Amino acid sequence: MPDQHKPHILVIDDEISMLELLEIILKKEGYQVTSAESGQKAFELLDKQAYDLLLCDIKLGDFNGIEVLRKAKQKNPHTIVIMISAYSTTENAVEAMNEGAYDYVPKPFDNEELKHTIKNALDMKTIDQEKKARSVDRGKTIHFGKIVGSSPRMLHIYDMIRQVSKTKTNILISGESGTGKELIAKAIHEQSDRKDEPFVVINCGSIPETLMESEFFGHKKGAFTGATSDKKGLFEVAHKGTVFLDEIGELTASFQVKLLRAVQEKVFKRVGGTRDIRVDIRFISATNKELKKEIIAERFREDLFYRLNVIEIKVPPLRERMGDLKPLAQFFLDKYSKEMGKDVSKISSYAIELLKKYDFPGNIRELENLLERSVALSSTNILLPDSLELSIYKKRWIEGVENRRYDLDEVVHGVALDSILVEIERAYLEKALKVSNGNMHKAADLLGISFRSIRYRLDKLNVKK
């Protein structure tokens, strides 16, 4: 009797040796597997029962695999279908995914990557089912503006936002550049009692030192050359609201002294003024520096640090929350498709896997830039690995290999092994192609691999042949 807890996969391929291989691979992973050597046999099986996932070749002897895909979706719209084929073209992939395929896998495929794709697809189905089961509670969910992600680290941050938003406590948000610190600050403001009052952003790294006091506190007419009238400072503009001090670690030592009193007492004087101005503002600061190290180096005041850092929210870099990469990519895909008036609605999971092999030193900001470029240059409504605009990143990866000496001692501090291996593999493939003048057979010989293997590797890493 079949195990009802094991996902049931229907494999359809007119090549018997491929059917047997896939059956062995999938059974070893603990799946129930049923095989069909033709489209007609697949139709008969689909009429008898439902399957959790179909793995279907696009070229069958009697039918096109797209017809099997349509039939499976008609019988059960929730069935996941992954198409496979040795005849990998953008047109085939786009057609399959437009008909509802979860993804398209070119032959020859890497066994581990195929297993990973199937696992991801089944996991996604389980998550979707759980979301539907919790749909009654959806109305109680708090949405944090444009923050995207459901990884454990981000769920912890959402909890912190809920807890601190109702207080008047000063918050320090720390994390690398491009991780979305301003979005978190804005979410705290929007969840607070100050949400209808100003949210004033001050980039501490972009204001010249000579103008800093005037920008923060304002000035009186005649206080300095060019001060032709009284001007409110940004702190005064933010009265009853929130001030977001971005890049707080960039403040000069002399201005930190002046800021300390304003943060501590909520009182300041305009430049050239004699009257104290009292404001009711909440301070949220952000930094990509380790301020404790800055304190030791005497570049940041310890007393100001403790005034600003009553509660700290640490934002993880994208490489530490790669589970959020797909929803983030989809968010930016939807955003720029709408802005550009283009119908680019989906990103292939193989494209996502390619992106996961890059560690995104620029974090979410870099991912957003990549997706914007890819949508702008896309000629189809689905982003596939070969339609991602990755030329900038390819160059960076290759330069990283040519100019870098790998030091095994780096492991002590943590390394991105997948990214390093991708750098090395890509550099060797491109060098072999260059030396062989683009002859893939010769390049494969130089690398000691088969022609089938080099073709697969070049497709996988999106290397120009």
Report if residue 379 sits inside a domain: yes
Query: Would 139 be classed as within a structural domain?
Result: no
Q: Is residue 197 part of a domain?
A: yes
For the stretch 74-103, pLDDT in tens is 888 888 899 887 665 667 777 888 888 888
48-82 confidence digits (pLDDT tens): 888 999 999 888 876 788 889 988 888 888 888 99
- Mean pLDDT on 204-226: 88
**Cα distances (angstroms) measured from residue 448 to each of 113, 147, 403, 433, 454:** 22, 47, 24, 13, 10
- Quote the pLDDT of residue 282: 95
The answer to whether residue 140 scores a pLDDT higher than 90 is no
> pLDDT value at position 142?
38
- Which of 314, 341, 365 lies at the terminal end of a domain, its last residue? 314
**Global pTM value:** 0.65
- pLDDT of 135 > 50? The answer is no
Does the pLDDT at position 316 exceed 80? Answer: yes
Is the residue at 368 inside a domain? yes
pLDDT recorded at residue 224: 83
Q: How far apart are CA 308 and CA 314, in angstroms?
A: 14
On average, the pLDDT of the chain sits at 83
In a domain, 65, yes or no: yes
- Whole-angstrom distance, CA of residue 157 vs CA of residue 159: 5
- Regarding whether 105 and 208 lie in a shared domain, the answer is no
| Domain CATH number, residue 86 | 3.40.50.2300
- Residue 174 and residue 269 in one domain: yes
Query: Considering the domain boundaries, does residue 423 fall inside one?
Result: yes
| CATH code: domain of residue 215 | 3.40.50.300
Same domain (yes/no): 254, 360: no
| Burial (CB count <10 Å: 0-12, 13-18, 19+), residue 230 | middle
- Identify the domain containing residue 348 by its residue range: 318-389
Looking at the fold, whether 284 and 164 belong to one and the same domain comes out as: yes
In the chain, the number of structural domains is: 4
In the listed set 389, 415, 437, which residue is the last one of a domain according to the structure? 389
| pLDDT category of residue 139 using cuts at 50, 70 and 90 | very low
In a domain, 117, yes or no: yes
Same domain for 12 and 71?
yes
Percent of the chain with pLDDT over 90: 40
Q: Indicate whether 274 and 340 sit together in one domain.
A: no
Using CA atoms, how far apart are residues 180 and 149, in angstroms rounded to an integer? 11
Residue 133 has a pLDDT of 41
Answer yes or no: is 145 within a domain: no
Residues 331 and 276 grouped into a single domain:
no
> Are 85 and 42 in a shared domain?
yes
CB atoms within 10 A of CB 211: 12
User: Is there a contact between 295 and 304 (Cβ–Cβ < 8 Å)?
Assistant: no
pLDDT per residue as tens digits for the range 235-258: 999 999 999 999 999 999 999 999
pLDDT in tens, 376-405: 888 888 887 766 755 444 444 444 444 454
- 277-278 and 282-287 beta bridge pairing: unpaired
Residue that the structure tokens 């690995």 belong to:
385
Whether residues 422 and 439 share a domain: the answer is yes
The CATH number covering residue 363 comes to 1.10.8.60
CA angle 238, 244, 248 (to 5 degrees): 130
Residue 83 pLDDT: 87
Confidence (pLDDT) at 136? 36
Last residue of a domain, one of 251, 285, 314: 314
211 shares its domain with 323: no
- Verify that 188 and 274 share a domain, yes or no: yes
Contact between residue 73 and residue 81 where contact means Cβ atoms under 8 Å apart? yes
Same domain, 279 and 424: no
**What would the two tokens of residue 86 be?**
């040795």
Confidence grade of residue 284 (pLDDT, cut at 50, 70, 90): very high
**Which of 393 and 367 is assigned the larger pLDDT?**
367
What's the pLDDT at 126?
60
CATH classification of the domain holding 444: 1.10.10
Instruction: List pLDDT tens digits, range 1-41.
Output: 445 568 899 999 988 888 999 999 999 999 999 999 988 99
pLDDT for position 137: 38
For residue 141, pLDDT beyond 60: no
DSSP assignment string, 250-306: GS-HHHHHHHHHHHHHSEE--BT--S-EE---EEEEEESS-HHHHHHTTSS-HHHHH
